[in-house]
Chain A
Amino acid sequence: MIAPQLVRVLKVGLTLIVLVVAWEIACRAFQVPSYLVPAPSAIAAKLHEKRDLYLGHTWVTLYETVGGFALAVAAGVIAAALIVVVPPVRDIIMPLLLIAQLVPKVAIAPILLIWFGYGLLPKILIAFLVAFFPIVVNVASGLAAVERELLDLGHSLEATRWQIFWKFRMPTALPELFSGMKIAITLAVIGAVIGEFVGGNRGLGYLILIANQDLDTPLAFAALLILSVVGIVLYALIELAERLLIPWSASVNHYLEAERA
């Protein structure tokens, strides 16, 4: 069990190391100026040199991302439940949702800034807006995917609507909730950064913006690297929760099969 997992990690790790080394060699061989493409060593040096700078900005971006994501999950599950359980609502909400999804969120960001100022709230709202849609769509299709025979069984036992929802629909939708959350968390990181780009004075997005203005490209890359790590860690946490909470799910078993193979 351990060995194949180790092999998988080694494969990814080795590929990354090879890429980074090639990058370093290319930068030195062609004497690429640092403000165009900084060498990995330069980025590492920048990470070390300004190590006191990052923590605060990372914390802000993390806060915005997780805040927007949590809102999206809560509102998304409620909206999906309404769509599935109250049919008239579906006919009204679905077209509105689609229209809302087609509006570019980058274009909404400046308006949100006007309404809610330069604090954390507009960033959280943008992260929420981009993360909301995949949650609703996935959970709604999951809630509707209960086997017809299982519903017949419930009705034959005179199950209440409440019982049908909590005992039949919600557990059926959990795998879809998790796939929705995996998409949503990556989008929420992007949403938070968009918010910081448009206006603000804190966060990793803001740091990248400032670094660009100063042509301090190594700093921009350092911030980018931290941003990626934040995204990967959040994603991995959701996957871990998925494995712990719904071990019966086909998607979880699929991973395990792949690891055994």
Chain B
Amino acid sequence: MGQSMYIFLLVGFVGFAILAIFLRDLLKAAISLAFSSIFLAMIFFHMKAYYVGVFEISVVAGLITVLFIATIGLTKGQGDVKERKIPLVIFPLFFIAFLFLDVVIMNALKTQMAVLSGKPEVPHFPQVLWGFRTLDLVGQIGVIFAGVFAVLALFRKGGTHE
């Protein structure tokens, strides 16, 4: 796996993510986000984080894209919404600043990070989840429930507060 392949995957990941923000057509934006997610999953696979890669493809690129497309299919257009042009100028500036921070500073500092410079000892995924991070599962279950309840609250009937 060469450096060029990583760069290709990163460019694909970031490029489709940016496209998802700037595309005005919601359907195309959702599909672009799915492509971005596939690139991210490929990066995970190449970093040998197979479980994360599988979750990324199945849940983010798969399930969430289906949900997005289904929801977009249910919505009706309500006329054009005027959008500000400022993000078009500000976003590239922020993006360049971020790239500078990421490439120059983080790259220079990564040798100082003990975990990155040493050889990782990777326990098996279920062992990590059940043996070390059980509280995270409780939190994750809570997050999922909170998301579901938020959707129930937002789509409840007759709840508009006048």
Whether chains A and B associate is: no
Residue numbers of B with Cβ under 8 A of A are none
